[in-house]
Amino acid sequence: MCGICGVLHFDGQSPSVDVLQAMTDALRHRGPDDGHTYINEAIGLGHRRLAIIDLSEAGAQPMTNEDGSLWVTFNGEIYNFLEIKLELEKRGHVFHSATDTEVILHAYETWGVDCLARFNGMFAFGLWDAPRQRLWLVRDRLGVKPLFYLQRPDKFLFGSEIKAILADPTIERQLDLTALHHYLSLNYTPAPYSLFANIRQLLPGHYLLVEANGACRIESYWDIFYREQIEQPEAVWLNQFEERLAESVKLRLISDVPLGAFLSGGVDSSAIVYWMSRQMKQPVKTFSIGFQERSYSELPHAQQTAQACRTEHHERLVSPDTIKVLPKIVWHAEEPTADSSMLPMYYLAQMAREHVTVALAGDGADEILAGYETYTAFYAAQLYRFIPATIRKRLIAPLIQRWPPSHHKISLDFKLKRFVQGAELDPEAQHAYWRIIFDETAKAKLYTAEVRHALQGVDTVDLYRATFAQTKATHPLNRMLYVDTRFYLPNDMLVKVDRMTMAHSLEARVPFLDYRLVEFAATMPPHLKLKRWRFGKYLLKISLQHRLPDLAHWRKKEGFNIPKASWLVGELRDFAFDHLAVPQIKRMGLFEPAQVTALLNDHLAKKQDYSHQIWGLLCLSLWWQKFMK
């Protein structure tokens, strides 16, 4: 796992050595083991290395082929590189390292851009093809690894993080209001946007070709296709699923450094730990984070799995005083992202890095196997709408809205309020609404008149509709799974994992997102993913019920949330009021200070739970101070 960056000049200039070095240095936390740059005529490539495979100098990057015609800077892992390497050696290629990086070079020599079809992994890389005078930028199929870029008339820059691009002092820092609009709705910035005008993200499963004359072309090379008519016994599906998951975990155990696993106590991470324990000779090192607030802590469940799998288990509690690191978290998140679970993830990665360099995680299972309650909510909404509209809107909804807010984890009042509002929408808007923080009405009220005018007609739900339009799936569940896998997963969940692990130079691997397992899950009948509208990840749970008998497989998903609602009226009150004070809001020039203050006061008075909204605004304020001041 590493940090990559580069610059290609279109005006005949050679990249500045100092600027390229500054870009590379900005990614030091992603690769503390080594760093190098390469400059030749108009191209400059930078690399920071976190050595995982072939720890020798032979693995240094940027790396070239035998005649120096190709250069690559690579972040990630190609898990099946040994298989590809063997095939290339049979074709006469000679290798000088034991790395997967060198496989990329020789695979490109042999198959060109079509070599991507052979790679199984998580990756982002930039490859300079000198004979063609062309830069090839690639992001993996599911978007596990990030890749940002900026195109100007005179040059093109790219990096694993925005900080690398901003290291060029000629880059102006301007706010993208459309991106801000979507951020407020989602608490994350959806690709291809970033909050910086002109800095964009390459979408998952896409590559970008940049010619030396400035011409750019983006191509999609992979997508998920749902085959909904395959019929076979449940036992056959179960056996095939287990084989693929076990193989996916096995592939991700390839490492020349110590590795372990994140263990939340949920079914996803427990499954990963189980299959690791079956395939590793030594006990699996597992890591868990908990909270003093019982409704938020899953440590007892994690301990059950750790005992059943006989792991070497490590735990840590997160408390409100850890908020001191929030500015640092915002600096690493940078797009920005305000998923509050970044806080425990930050400490989880910090703890794991004290013992290992690689950690396997359970992310992705919810999106491919229907683990979220939003899928159940879709079917519940269909039933709910059989109730006459007059009763729903004049009796039930007002009654639910008067329900006192609770600060418990995913409380009943929160779910009911969200449900009765979203159930009145069409299915696509409904699916978006379950995750909306500020809706369009709330944002319009929050904005200054100038910002409100500039954003007229922009609706975040349209992003969901556009993603729904991309899938050919017809079953409602598969359509929702497609949107969450292609939109929510890479823009929020995988950002959280990548940025918080890389903050501590820790590599995270996600077996559920092996593209072959994802494609297999897309062929599974919907009822094996969501059973009777209630039991998500059904096949996964069935596969574990006799292997980990102490696990409460059928308990509801709890997530990795923090008790921010109670923290914001307690230990974090002054911190929030300080960073969302009227002078700071006026300096940003985006929001009406009175509206921000009202949110804080209403939450403090427990009139409504505005913790999600306040957290998003708080992270935005910290981001502004870090990046725009």
Which residue is it, tokens 């004979």? 131
User: Chain centroid to CA 618: how far?
Assistant: 20
Residue 353 maps to a domain: yes
CA distance 442 to 446: 6
* Per-residue model confidence (pLDDT) at position 231: 86
Residue 404 maps to a domain: no
Pair (551, 575) in one structural domain: no
Count CB-CB contacts under 10 A for residue 293: 16
How many independent structural domains does the chain possess?
3
89, two tokens: 């050696």
Residue 416 maps to a domain: no
* Per-residue model confidence (pLDDT) at position 295: 59
* Per-residue model confidence (pLDDT) at position 557: 56
Q: Are 142 and 364 in contact (CB under 8 A)?
A: yes
CATH code at position 348: 3.40.50.620
344, two tokens: 């425990």
Catalytic residue among 2, 5, 115, 619: 2
Q: What φ, ψ does residue 164 adopt, rounded to 5°? A: -65, -40
CATH code at position 27: 3.60.20.10
Pair (338, 440) in one structural domain: yes
Rounded alpha-carbon distances, angstroms, from residue 19 to 170, 412, 548: 10, 53, 53
Pair (340, 214) in one structural domain: no
Pair (555, 583) in one structural domain: no
Residue 234 maps to a domain: yes
Residue type, 206: H
* Per-residue model confidence (pLDDT) at position 426: 94
CA distance 117 to 221: 8
* Per-residue model confidence (pLDDT) at position 12: 85
Pair (64, 131) in one structural domain: yes
* Per-residue model confidence (pLDDT) at position 532: 86
CA distance 451 to 435: 23
Residue 445 maps to a domain: yes
CA distance 251 to 433: 37
User: What is the layout of strands, in order, in the sheet containing 43-49?
Assistant: 34-40, 43-49, 2-9, 155-159, 148-151, 199-201
CA distance 284 to 497: 20
Burial 50-78 (b: 16+ CB within 10 A, else e): bbbbbeeeebbbbbbbeeeebbbbbbbbb
* Per-residue model confidence (pLDDT) at position 462: 98
CA distance 593 to 580: 9
Count CB-CB contacts under 10 A for residue 128: 26
Helix or strand holding residue 446 (H, E) = helix 440-446
Q: Which residues are CB-contacts of 527 (< 8 A; sequence separation ≥ 6)?
A: 538
Q: Which residues are CB-contacts of 628 (< 8 A; sequence separation ≥ 6)?
A: 173, 175
Pair (532, 621) in one structural domain: no
Pair (533, 575) in one structural domain: no
Pair (157, 230) in one structural domain: no
3-state SS record for 267-324: HHHHHHHHHHHHHCCCCCEEEEEEECCHHHCCHHHHHHHHHHHCCEEEEEEECHHHHH
Give the domain extent around 607: 563-629
Rounded alpha-carbon distances, angstroms, from residue 254 to 99, 248, 276: 12, 11, 12
CA distance 617 to 440: 16
> What is the 8-class DSSP label of residue 394?
I
**Residue 450 exposure: Cα atoms within 13 Å on the Cβ side:** 5
The per-residue DSSP string of 472-483 comes to ---SHHHHHHHH
Low-confidence ranges of the chain (pLDDT < 50): none
Pair (356, 212) in one structural domain: no
407, two tokens: 């600060």
Give me the torsion for CA of 605, 610, 616, 622, rounded to 10°: 0
Rounded alpha-carbon distances, angstroms, from residue 253 to 39, 45, 272, 447, 487: 35, 30, 11, 49, 28
* Chosen domain end from 220, 255, 281: 220
Residue 180 maps to a domain: no
* Chosen domain end from 559, 592, 615: 559
* Per-residue model confidence (pLDDT) at position 422: 86
Residue 36 maps to a domain: yes
Residue 408 maps to a domain: no
* Chosen domain end from 513, 529, 559: 559
Pair (458, 315) in one structural domain: yes
Pair (269, 124) in one structural domain: no
Q: From start to end of 454-612, where are the E strands?
A: 507-509, 530-531, 535-536
Nearest 5°: CA angle at 617, between 611 and 620? Answer: 140
User: Any catalytic annotation for residue 216?
Assistant: no
Pair (513, 609) in one structural domain: no
Count CB-CB contacts under 10 A for residue 258: 12
CA distance 465 to 461: 6
